[in-house]
Chains A and B, each alone.
Chain A
Amino acid sequence: MTMKARHLLGLEYLDREDIELILKTTKSFREILDRPIKKVPTLQGKTVVNLFFEPSTRTRISFELAEKRLSADSVNFSKEGSSVKKGETLLDTARNIEAMKIDFVVIRHQSPGAPHFLAQKLESRVINAGDGAHEHPTQGLLDMVTMTDKHPTFKNLRVGIVGDISHSRVAMSNIHGLLKMNAKVTVCGPATLIPREIEKLGVHVCYDIDELIPRVDVLNILRIQLERQESGLFPSLREYHNYFGITRQRLEKATKPITIMHPGPINRGVEISSDVADSEHSVILDQVTNGVAVRMAVLYLLAGGEHVTN
């Protein structure tokens, strides 16, 4: 079993076999997290630099834990108080850090394509931890692993992605990954938050959440950012909740339980009501646990030399 990609830049650029390999390997790493000693010596001597140009708590902690669980050495970089503030370019920052002899760069950046740029310029393996509104591949992968915990196969699995599709890298990674695995994906939200011609990717579009709910197995509910309301894309958070918020009453229209997912952080009472977020069909915290396992699997698979089947 070998992974073909050298870097993890986005699910758009991985083929189906690589995605399947990562999902399968994740299940093996998931078990390590339940051991009394949650650490294996696999990446001893490897160094990972977490370059975070955007604030992040969950993703950064998740990557850091994954690195530590595999015994890699990790260093964190954040924009605040760094040479970037003094005007250094992304490339210079990255080249300087690479000159200190490292093996992996995990990068979160506000500009789409920043990880691709580094992958072309650096020797290190690059992992995209979110680039603008483009992709967040490890989130896409952890969402997919969590779906397989509840549903045996992606084939004909009906997934609804609800919320701000236009500004969401999580949505894009989900769409690319799920479509490669032959799931059926529908995006739903106010027309102002759904990109024009998104159907061309192969997804369905629905503007009415009550129409969508009876026709899905999984709902992946995106965070609604306050700034979007301030820029006039929808009138108020309350109105958003009234039209698109996932509530128990709305879910009662489904004939069978729907798996509820959310990438976090949750705005309780906006995109999702508290009782749904905490319900027995919510797998939001499983997503977080799977996130560490997915990142371990990705680091492990990218760390190998020229891979040969055993």
Chain B
Amino acid sequence: MDFRTKAKLITSEDMRRTIIRLAHEIVEKNRGVKDLVIIGIYTRGAYLATRISKKIEEIETQKIPTGYLDSTLYRDDFRTRLKQPKVQVTNISFQIDEKNIVLVDDVLFTGRTIRAALDALMDFGRPNRIDLAVLVDRGHRELPIKADFVGKNIPTSVGEEVRVKLKEVDDEDCVYLVEQVSGGKE
């Protein structure tokens, strides 16, 4: 399958401002950072979690416990899809019992990754509350899941995809809208 870039939806400047806003919104809703922890979903959600956590630290001058979660092993499509994603090392080095967790991912689409992440978190303990922060919400939910903090809502059609690029892995900070090109080489 080939993809063609349709538009650059978020530039690096936009992304910087969006992360600052998300950090402020998280602190506002939690009325500070007491019991706040941040957990990012691999791969790009983990980098976004680190950035948001650092920003909150700047705002509140307090370190926020930050962890990283691989939800692959909890996915519901392992048996049906012919896909085998790489499993990464989950690293949550603190107790999540009674904590207010902000779960961070790059794109919210069907909601199945988030469902898997929620199941995974429940095996780590019993948090007080879990909120969801995403950089992009592209619609097309298949499960009753919604984000509490959204960087940008981007309505898309099914043939389109949202590609988030982050400096930590991709050499640039931006978000592209791409679409499938039919007749591309297999």
Contact = CB atoms under 8 A, between A and B. Distances in A.
A27 B89 contact: yes
B161 to A, nearest CB: 14
A310 B82 CA distance: 10
B83 A310 contact: yes
A307 B85 CA distance: 9
Contacts of B88: 28
Interface core residue of B74, B81, B120, B123 (most chain A CB under 10 Å): B123
Interface residues of B, number: 21
Contacts of B3: none
B82 A308 contact: yes
Interface string A229-258: 000000000000000000000000000000
Interface in B39-90: 70, 73-74, 78-79, 81-90
A42 B70 contact: no
A4 to B, nearest CB: 12
Mostly, the B contact residues are loop
Nearest to B87: A28
A42 B75 CA distance: 7
A35 B124 contact: yes
Contacts of A300: 73, 87
A306 B88 CA distance: 20
Contact of B119 (A41, A301, A303): A41
Contacts of A301: 84
A70 B85 CA distance: 16
Mostly, the A contact residues are loop
A2 interface: yes
B123 A307 contact: no
B78 A42 contact: yes
Contacts of B120: 40
Nearest to B83: A308
A104 to B, nearest CB: 14
A306 B84 CA distance: 8
Interface in A291-306: 300-301, 303-306
B155 interface: no
A267 interface: no
B82 A307 contact: yes
Nearest to B75: A42
Contacts of B81: 305
Contact of B79 (A45, A306, A308): A45
Contacts of B86: 1, 24-25, 310
B30 interface: no
B84 A2 contact: yes
A185 to B, nearest CB: 29
B90 A31 contact: yes
B125 interface: yes
A3 B83 CA distance: 12
Contacts of B89: 27-28, 31
B91 interface: yes
A184 interface: no
Given A307-B84, A308-B84, 19 more contacts: A1-B85, A25-B86, A28-B70, A31-B89, A31-B91, A32-B73, A35-B123, A40-B73, A40-B74, A40-B120, A41-B119, A42-B73, A42-B78, A45-B79, A304-B82, A305-B84, A306-B82, A308-B82, A310-B85
7 contacts: A25-B86, A27-B89, A36-B124, A37-B124, A41-B119, A300-B87, A310-B86
